[in-house]
């Protein structure tokens, strides 16, 4: 009888439970909401870790494809995540900022689905503007 009591007192915790505990303790930012699609979740996580593939980062990853790290729209500042999310054409004062817009900063730490989705949509729109600005335009060239 005494040995059964000792076995219970010294029961081993499964390794998976230990790893899960450490992972949970290290996690500082919320995970992407389960309702986000895989693509949206990946983009949200990239936003949290500041590794969105902007022209600045792409220039180092694929230098033959991305040889310019400037914003396609204003053509003056580097196209960092903060710059393209601050919408350089409309908010010239904020385009020099090195910080993300306040709503995006709040969304990074939010676990709410709608907040995360709104941040992902804003990033997608900013990246689309950068791609559209670099794509050759078809049709006649407008004259002034």
Note the pLDDT of residue 99: 80
What separation in angstroms does the CA of 113 have from each of 37, 38, 44, 85?
11, 14, 11, 20
User: What mean pLDDT is predicted for residues 128-139?
Assistant: 62
70: Cβ–Cβ under 8 A, 6 or more apart, which residues? Answer: 55, 76, 77, 78, 79
Q: What stretches of 1-112 show up as alpha helix (H) in DSSP?
A: 2-9, 15-26, 38-49, 55-61, 81-85, 92-95, 102-108
- The mean per-residue pLDDT over the stretch 47-66 comes to 89
Residues 86 and 127 sit within 8 Å (Cβ to Cβ): no
CA 80/CA 69 separation, integer angstroms: 8
Q: What pLDDT is attached to residue 114?
A: 95
pLDDT band at 119 (very low <50, low <70, confident <90, very high): very high
Kindly report, residue by residue over 11-47, the tens digit of the pLDDT: 888 889 888 888 777 778 888 999 999 999 999 999 9
Model pLDDT, residue 94: 47
Indicate if the pLDDT at residue 74 is higher than 60.
Answer: yes
Q: How confident is the model at residue 137 (pLDDT cuts 50, 70, 90)?
A: very low
For residues 134 and 73, which has the higher predicted lDDT (pLDDT)? Answer: 73
More confident residue, 98 or 92: 98
Which pTM does this prediction carry? Answer: 0.69
pLDDT > 70? residue 2: no
Q: Are 87 and 126 in contact (CB under 8 A)?
A: yes
């Amino acid at each position: 009888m005494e040995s059964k009591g000792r076995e219970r007192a010294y029961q081993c915790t499964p390794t998976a439970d230990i790893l899960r505990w450490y992972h949970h303790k290290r996690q500082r930012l919320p995970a992407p909401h389960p309702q986000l699609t895989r693509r949206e979740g990946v983009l949200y996580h990239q936003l949290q870790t500041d590794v969105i593939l902007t022209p600045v980062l792409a220039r180092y990853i694929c230098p033959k494809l991305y040889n310019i790290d400037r914003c396609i729209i204003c053509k003056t500042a580097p196209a960092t995540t903060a710059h393209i999310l601050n919408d350089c054409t409309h908010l010239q004062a904020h385009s020099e900022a090195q910080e993300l817009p306040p709503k995006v900063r709040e969304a990074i730490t939010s676990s709410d689905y709608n907040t995360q989705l709104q941040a992902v949509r804003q990033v997608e729109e900013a990246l689309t503007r950068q791609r559209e600005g670099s794509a050759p335009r078809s049709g006649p060239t407008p004259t002034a």
